[in-house]
Structures are given as C-alpha cells and as structure tokens.
C-alpha cells in the first residue's frame, strides 16, 4: 500500500488569501486525485493531477480557483485561491496505481481541514 | 440516475448482528469494485475489493458482486461497535474513472 503524507493537517485562513496543500507519496503512482469533503457529506472529486501537464478538472471546479501542480510521480499540490467561507472543508489527496496488473486501489491522505474566516 | 448509489441510511444494527450494505452502479462495463470505511474525522480506508462475480470473504467481511444486476454488497458479520462508521462504495467505470457513492452510515449498538 502507498503511504501518503499530506500537509498541513489543518489551517485557519482569512478570506481572500490562498492556501497550498502538499501531498507526498512514498512510491511512484500513476494517478493522483484531489477531493473535497464537507462534514457529513460524501467525497467530491475536484481534479485529477496529471504529471507534467495540466490537471483534469471536474464540472464546477476551475484552474483559477484550484490550481494544481504535479511535477513528478510522487508529489502534488493543490492551491485554494482567493478563499471564502464556502471553501471551508476537508481536502483529501488520493493516489491510485493504475498500471497493468495493479488492483486500482485508491489510498487517501489524512486530509487537510480548512476553515476560512 | 447517479453512477453509484448506496442504500440510504443511517443503518443501525445491534452488536453481533449482520449488517448489510448495498450498492448499485449504472455503468455495465465497470470492472473493479471497492468498499471503504470512513470513521468520523478520518480519511477513507480500504476494506474490500472485488472484481469477479460471486462472494469474497475476509474475516467478518464478505463482498458480493453481481454484474448482471449491477449490484455489489458488503456484509459485516458479528457486528461490533467499532464497525460504526460510514461505508463508501466505489466503482472503476469502463472509462477508468473512479466514482464513489454517497456512503451509508452504520451504527452498531452495544
């Protein structure tokens, strides 16, 4: 299984500022994802982070608001830009090995609990 | 219709009983199916995965898959209070996309 380190674990931010969340994996993985989860709600996929190219965003999420980087196969960042209280949520990094013979199992980081004042 | 639907909760069972969690999916070409458990305030963790029709058992957990009916379930035998959590069904669609259901919250009462 993959071990994921996600930082920060929590933060309290002011409206209008930006926060960058880091996700580091202990092995090379083919797929990295960023999710948002409101308390008591299910997972909402923000985007798939693509190594060396622009992320693939889901409907309702745009690059200007959630820029994502993935410079290599073990690291990705998600930035929440120009934050408002509506961005208060838990943000989760997830990885999957989608290579041939792999089981397509997703592993999750511990999450970043973001509160925007 | 949602791509992955789970039985509405919350589900409450007494300790020692069997908890049955159900999930249906819309993409008939889906190949991989997963159950994740999420404790309150924690991230999801894998419980079971299943790829072939039939049953797969791991300890107190049994996953059942019926591709013809587009149905996957998770049975938890001898339920314990520590099993109280939200259970997420996930499906890898034919397009290779991972889709999660909304989850079913299970409470096991001592």
Residue A68, Cβ density class (10 Å: 0-12 exposed, 13-18 middle, ≥19 buried): buried
CA atoms within 13 A on the CB side of A17: 12
Residues in A closer than 8 angstroms to B103, CB to CB, are 42
Residue whose structure tokens are 């004042």: A117
CA dihedral of residues A110, A45, B108, B39 (deg, nearest 10): 10
Distance from CA of B8 to the nearest CA of A (A): 13
Residues of A with CB under 8 A from a CB of B: 33, 41-43, 45, 92, 96, 98, 103-111
Q: What is the CA radius of gyration of chain B?
A: 13
pLDDT of residue A24: 97
Over residues A28-53, the mean pLDDT reads 90
Contact state of A42 with B46 under an 8 Å Cβ cutoff: no
Distance from CA of A111 to the nearest CA of B (A): 7
pLDDT of residue A99: 67
CA dihedral of residues B89, B94, B96, B100 (deg, nearest 10): -20
Residue A101 has pLDDT above 70, yes or no: no
Residue A67, Cβ density class (10 Å: 0-12 exposed, 13-18 middle, ≥19 buried): middle
Distance from CA of B43 to the nearest CA of A (A): 5
Q: pLDDT tens-digit profile of A63-78?
A: 999 999 999 999 999 9
Residues in A closer than 8 angstroms to B42, CB to CB, are 110-111
Place A2 in a pLDDT band, splitting at 50, 70 and 90: confident
Which residue is closest to A32 within chain B, CA to CA? B98
Residue whose structure tokens are 């072939």: B52
Residues in B closer than 8 angstroms to A107, CB to CB, are 46
Residues in B closer than 8 angstroms to A105, CB to CB, are 34, 46, 49
pLDDT averaged over consecutive 10-residue blocks of chain B (110 residues)? Answer: 85 96 94 94 94 94 96 97 96 85 95
């Amino acid at each position: 299984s993959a071990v994921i380190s996600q930082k920060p674990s929590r933060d309290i931010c002011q409206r209008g500022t930006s926060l960058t969340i880091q996700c580091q994996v202990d092995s090379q993985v083919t797929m990295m994802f960023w999710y948002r989860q409101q308390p008591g709600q299910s997972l909402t996929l923000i985007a798939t982070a693509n190594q060396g190219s622009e992320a693939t965003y889901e409907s309702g999420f745009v690059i200007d608001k959630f820029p994502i980087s993935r410079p290599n196969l073990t690291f990705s960042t998600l930035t929440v830009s120009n934050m408002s209280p509506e961005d208060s949520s838990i943000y989760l990094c997830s990885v999957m090995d989608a290579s041939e013979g792999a089981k397509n199992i997703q592993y999750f980081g511990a999450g970043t609990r973001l509160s925007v004042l | 219709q949602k791509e992955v639907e789970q039985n509405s909760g919350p589900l409450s069972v007494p300790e020692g009983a069997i908890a049955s969690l159900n999930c249906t999916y819309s993409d008939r070409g889906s190949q991989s199916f997963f159950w994740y458990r999420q404790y309150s305030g924690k991230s999801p963790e894998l419980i079971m995965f299943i790829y072939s029709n039939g049953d797969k058992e791991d300890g107190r957990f049994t996953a059942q898959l019926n591709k013809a009916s587009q149905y996957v379930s998770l049975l938890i035998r001898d339920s314990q209070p520590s099993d109280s959590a939200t259970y997420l069904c996930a499906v890898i669609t034919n397009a290779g996309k991972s889709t999660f259901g909304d989850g079913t919250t299970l409470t096991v009462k001592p």
